[in-house]
Structure formats: structure tokens, C-alpha cells
Structure 1
Amino acid sequence: MTRRLAGKTALVTGSTSNIGRAIAEAFAAEGAHVVVSGRSERRGAEVVDGIRARGGRADFVRAELDGSARASRTLATRATEVLGGRIDILVNNAGIFPGDTTAATDEKTFDEVYAVNVKAPFFLTGEIAPAMAAAGGGSVINLGSWVARLAVPVGALYSSTKGAMETLTRSWAAEFGPQGVRVNAISPGVVLEPSPDQSHPGEAMMNGTPAGRMGRPEEIAHAAVYLAADESAFVHGIVLDVDGGRTAAAVIAA
């Protein structure tokens, strides 16, 4: 590793598994002091222990991001304290995915998904981005999804939350960019931890793409490192598709 994030501090929400975990591990490998955050203390400890075993710096801060401003404010405060008084990089990764159809989605589920996927990062960014600006700058990275732009028959609720995060990315880039805080997003394709013993329904959703396979968490993490590092200093308000070509190209088999 080139330690592109040496001296930086980072908070990654939902980082006890899959994409969030890979991002936290990649940031630490590049020299950042990382706060791993999520609901499970056991899984959080596993991630932190692994990072430390490889010589990185990481701490776990438990968070139940229920969409309330209070929960987001509490996480921002605790993470800032653990990181020595500042957060240079925020990754809004935590989210939940209900796959029901519109007719099968009840009001409780609707409110919960918007609370976790939109309200929580909204209020967390509202706490952290101004502090970044006051400290001289920073980077916010949101996690979107390819289903925000290429529709599938189920999951309309989830898709709409990711569309909201893409819109917020552009709005925040306009709001905070002039203050030195870059805001961008990553839109992954179907990404899961590899499981050689069994197939996953998500594999079919990546058929007909240039990549022809599901993505790996570390492939999303590479993109996050780029958006967090200085080489992307001129990058504001983009949604970076890291989806195996799912939204860009269709491969037609002969």
C-alpha cells in the first residue's frame, strides 16, 4: 500500500461486514485511523482486531442509526472524540434492504428504511461536514446503488432511498464544496462476500454485463480510497459507478 491516507481520520458507518468492512480495512491499510461503526459489538471487535493485527489503527463505536438526529449526533460526537478531535473522511454506508414489492410494503417498513438509509446519513453529514469545513476540509462518500437508475421489479422502496442519496450527493457538493468539503458517491453493482459453496440469486442480476460476475467488497473499497485521497481533489458531486458495467453496457451473447 502507498499509505495515501496517512494522517487522516475516518468514520465508516455500517462497517462490520461486506462493503463497509472492506472500506474500513482499506482505509486503515492506507494509513488512516478508522472508526468502525455498526450495531454488533462482536463483529465490530473482529474488524478492529483484524486491522490492528495488520498494523493499522482502528476503534469500534457502536451505533444504532435509527434516523433520529440524536442518534446521528451521538455517533458524530463519539467518533470525533475517539479520533482525537476531528473527522477527515465520512463514509455513509449503513443501510437496510427490504426486497418486497410496493403493495407488500407496510408503512412501518417504509418509515424504517427511509430513517436508516436517508435520514441517518442526512443528519450525520449535517453534524460532520460543517466541522470538516471549520477544520480546513474533508471528504464525504455516500453509497448509492445501481438500482437507483436501472429498475428491477422489486425493491422500489430501497431504490428510491438510493436515488435520494445520489441527489443529496450533488446537493451537498454544491453546499459544502466551496467550504473545502468534497462530496461524492459510489454506486456498486451486486456485491457480496465470496461464497464458493453456494450460488446467490444476485449472480443472475449481473448476467449480460461486461464483468459477467458479482463484485467483491474490496473492489468498492478501492474506489472509496480514491475518492478519499488527495488525487481526487478536483472531483466533486459525482456518482462513480463500480458495477461491472451494469448501468453502462449490455453484452449480447452470440
Structure 2
Amino acid sequence: MEFSGKVALVTGSNSGIGRAIAQDLAALGAHVLVSGRDAERGAQTVAAIRAGSGKADFLPADLRDADSARELARRATETAGHVDILVNNAGIGAFGPTPATTETDFDTMYAVNVKAPYFLTAALAPAMAERGAGAVVNISTMVASFGLPGMALYGSTKAAVNLLTKAWAAEFGPQGVRVNAVAPGPVLTEGTEPMGDGLGRLAAQAPAARIADPTEIARAVVYLAGNGASFVQGVVLPVDGGRAAV
């Protein structure tokens, strides 16, 4: 029970990768604060964790601005007393040609993918630093490190997350807060299912030549959040079936 006594806030944990992360952390003893927009799916995730003798609570949040991030941080602290592990998983992805991107599309994606994790980390990391320990794990993407047609907007938001990961490691690391990121490749989730054959074609470009399951990404997050990564700081860990190698 590596995370016994620890509190983990996982954003966007109603489904997909976030749910897998929440379930894995709870199975290892963490009190998991499940967060997302859909209360019904949040309740289902909490029920599944509790059915496995884990500890979890649901905190609804629509992370689209600084105020919503600060409010989630406040409620998380109020509910559990403190937060030891923050997983910035909530995000949105939309793909298409640059000329077709509207200003609303642009602003919405940057608000959810960059602004919300920025201000959530700003609200929670200082308390971790005061206690001398904590972990922040950001969820990025493999397309933050190379260009693909139609992914300029999404990839650029996650490239910002990669830089924030390194900057926060430099800022909070000296006080014992480790900040790292995971960069997944193609993963089959409720959010990526509409991509259809496109997801498989993307996966075929990597040595593993297959689509990942959310649990495979969750294991990497658990590693970075845990004691086994005690000397790992500011890393963006590719979990992409080897796509970073080709």
C-alpha cells in the first residue's frame, strides 16, 4: 500500500486514462479525489473504487478558468485536509486544419489544457512545498514533440504543459515537490473512439504497432507519483509504444 495515508486529486477522472489512474492509486492505498464534469460518471468511478475497498470522493469541476481551478483546490483541501499528489489529467482534444480553427476553439482548448492546470498547480503546490513533499504529474501527449497535420492546436497546448513541467520542477523541486509528465501515444478511450481507423493508423507508426489501454498509461503515472521515482524531476516520460524512437 505505497500510497497509504496520501491524498491524490485526479482531474478528468470520470473515464478513460483518468479513471484508470484513480483506480490504480486507490488500489495502492491513496484517498482519491475523483474530479470531472459528469456527476453520474463520477459517482460510478467512486463506487468502483469503494467496491474494491478503496477510498474515494467525487468533486465536480468544469475546469475552464482560473476561478474553477482555485475552487477545486479549495474543495479538495476542505474535503481531505491536504493534497499530496496532483494529476493534471483533464483536457480536451480537437483536430483539424489550422485555417478552420475558430478563436473560440483556440481559447477553449488553451483554457482547459493549459490555464486550468496552471492555476490548480499554483493553488496546491505551495502547500506541498510547505510540507516538504508532494508530486505533480501532468498528462501530455506524444504530438507535443513532433508535428502532425491537423494537430497544431492540441499539440501546442501540450507542448506548453511540457515546458510547465520542467519549470515547476525547477520552482518547487528544491522544496521536495516532484513535477513530471507522461506523454501517451494512441490510447483507446471514450474520447478517442470517434477517431476510428485514424487511431490505428497513428499507432501503426510506432514499434509496438498497437493502441494502448488506459491502464498502461496509469502505471506510468503511478510510478512518477511514487517513491520509486524519488530522484526523477522535470521528466516528460513517453508512453507511446516507442513512437519517440522513430
TM range (shorter): over 0.9
What is the CA–CA distance in structure 1 between the aligned matches of 2:202 and 2:130, rounded to whole Å? 43
State the Cα distance separating 1:79 from its structure 2 match: 0.9
Identity %: 55
SS in 2 for 1:224: helix
**Superimposed CA distance per residue, residues 106-127 of structure 1 (whole angstroms, 9 cap, x where no aligned partner):** 1011011000000000000000
What pairs with 1:210-225 in structure 2 (closer than 5 Å)? 210-225=207-222
Match of residue 252 from structure 1 = none
Select which of 133, 137, 143 maps to 2:133.
Answer: 137
Match of residue 153 from structure 1 = 149
Match of residue 53 from structure 1 = 51
What is the CA–CA distance in structure 1 between the aligned matches of 2:97 and 2:2, rounded to whole Å? 43
Match of residue 206 from structure 1 = 203
State the Cα distance separating 1:201 from its structure 2 match: 2.1
Note if 1:100 corresponds to 2:100. Answer: no
Note if 1:89 corresponds to 2:80. Answer: no
**Superimposed CA distance per residue, residues 112-144 of structure 1 (whole angstroms, 9 cap, x where no aligned partner):** 100000000000000000011112210000011
Match of residue 5 from structure 1 = 3
Note if 1:226 corresponds to 2:223. Answer: yes
State the Cα distance separating 1:178 from its structure 2 match: 0.3
Match of residue 32 from structure 1 = 30
Counterpart residue identity of residue 53, structure 1: A
Superposed structure 1 runs of 4+ greater than 3 Å apart: 193-196
Counterpart residue identity of residue 35, structure 2: S
Per mean C-alpha deviation after superposition, the further-off stretch among 114-123 and 202-211 is: 202-211
Where in structure 2 are there 5+ consecutive unaligned residues? none
Note if 1:121 corresponds to 2:128. Answer: no
Provide the alpha-carbon RMSD of the alignment: 1.6
State the Cα distance separating 1:199 from its structure 2 match: 5.4
- Whether the aligned pair in 2 keeps the contact of 1:150 and 1:247 (CA below 8 Å) is no
Note if 1:79 corresponds to 2:79. Answer: no
- Whether the aligned pair in 2 keeps the contact of 1:16 and 1:44 (CA below 8 Å) is yes
Q: Give the TM-score of the pair, scaled to structure 1.
A: 0.93
Counterpart residue identity of residue 175, structure 2: Q
**Superimposed CA distance per residue, residues 62-115 of structure 1 (whole angstroms, 9 cap, x where no aligned partner):** 001112x211110001011211x1100000000011112110001011011000
Where in structure 1 are there 5+ consecutive unaligned residues? 250-254
SS in 1 for 2:129: helix
SS in 1 for 2:162: helix
Note if 1:70 corresponds to 2:74. Answer: no
SS in 2 for 1:37: strand
State the Cα distance separating 1:248 from its structure 2 match: 1.2
**Superimposed CA distance per residue, residues 25-76 of structure 1 (whole angstroms, 9 cap, x where no aligned partner):** 0000011000000000000000000000010000000001112x21111000
- Whether the aligned pair in 2 keeps the contact of 1:22 and 1:218 (CA below 8 Å) is yes
SS in 2 for 1:208: coil
Give the paired residue count: 244
Note if 1:186 corresponds to 2:191. Answer: no
State the Cα distance separating 1:200 from its structure 2 match: 3.8
- Whether the aligned pair in 2 keeps the contact of 1:6 and 1:32 (CA below 8 Å) is yes
